[in-house]
Amino acid sequence: MTTAWQETLDAGDILLIDGGMGTELQRRGVPMNEVVWSGAAVATNPDAVRETHEDYIRAGAKVIITNTFGSTRQMLEPAGYGDQVEAVHRGAVKLAKEARDNMGDPSVAVAGSISTEPPRFDRDAFLAPQKELAAYREAAGLLAEAGVDLIALEMINDTDHAPRAVQAALETGLPVWLGVGCKQREDGKIVSFDHPDLEFAAILDALIPMGPTVINIMHSEVGAIPEAIALLRERWSGPIGVYPESGYFTKPHWNFVDIIPPRDLVTEALGWVAAGARLLGGCCGTGPEHIKAFHDAMPDLERARSTS
């Protein structure tokens, strides 16, 4: 198990994580599944998954996130992959570790992704609470057994389903990164990416007491991030990360429209770091070129850090 990521954060230094995985697989020609998006790509296109991890490490990422965002039982079963939940989780960790070995950098951490996305991305189709909790426990347990360094909870955008995922992740004993997606409502309020009536602050207030190690503002619009960081800092003294999206989703495909140029992302990130962010990466629509831009700009980012 590598703890280099934790040492970087303990020192107050900047930690680079990877960029989008599902959208990057799409960009590389991997077919997106109508029901489960990229959740079965480990089974269908393992080489593309490994190569994408390698490209992120090459670009400078020190944490890579497994391609298991859409791979809980509640997501894979309706897509006809219910018998492959175990194989997909074990395979995803294996591919990430192979990429780390191939790139010769044992300090790279492997984060196991789990989301609370519902079956078919349909919010009316959630499993009954105990079955839902069991699905998160299954995913977290498989990732832990396969040897991830931490659990990255992603798109934890409510206060109903989220606590079950957080509970399941914490039960592994591994560090838990909480990834919350937000956006700015027309009246200026920062709200859940999925629920315009739910304030970002309410999600934080519900989940921070459970004990995450890191909180990431993820898959969020670049314009909403400064205010989101401010809301987070009012509530949280632990490490803050940012990995935004760029473009938009029309199931099951990402639209690579007006993708933020890597140089512009770095300019935005200088402000985020000055405001207290320490983990930087990208979500949907971003690729290795964005992570490389962060890496190349590290002297500037370190200077911005010293002002906060």
> What are the residues binding Zn ion (CB under 5 A)?
219, 245, 283-284
Cβ at position 115, least distance to Zn ion in Å: 10
CB of 121 to Zn ion, least distance (A): 13
User: Quick one: 172 or 241, whose CB is closer to Zn ion?
Assistant: 241
In the bound state with Zn ion, the residue whose beta carbon lies nearer, of 236 and 249, is 249
Kindly state the smallest distance separating residue 247's Cβ from Zn ion, in Å: 9
Which residue number, 54 or 245, has a Cβ lying nearer to Zn ion? 245
What is the closest distance, in whole angstroms, from the C-beta atom of residue 245 to Zn ion in the complex? 5
Between residues 65 and 284, which has the closer beta carbon with respect to Zn ion? 284
The three state secondary structure string of the chain is CCCHHHHHHHCCCCEEECCCCHHHHHHCCCCCECCCECCCHHHHCHHHHHHHHHHHHHHCCCEEECCCCCCCHHHHHHHCCHHHHHHHHHHHHHHHHHHHHHHCCCCCEEEEEEECCCHHHCCCCCCCHHHHHHHHHHHHHHHHHHCCCEEEEECCCCCCCHHHHHHHHHCCCCCEEEEEEEEECCCCCEEECCCCCCEHHHHHHHHHHHCCCEEEEECCCHHHHHHHHHHHHHHCCCCEEEECCCCEEECCEEECCCCCCHHHHHHHHHHHHHCCCCEECCCCCCCHHHHHHHHHCHHHHHHHHCCC
- For the bound state, the minimum distance from the C-beta of residue 173 to Zn ion, rounded and expressed in Å, comes to 27
Nearer to Zn ion, 110 or 284 (CB): 284
CB nearer to Zn ion: pick between 8 and 157: 157
Provide the minimum distance between the beta carbon of 227 and Zn ion in the complex, in angstroms, as a whole number: 19
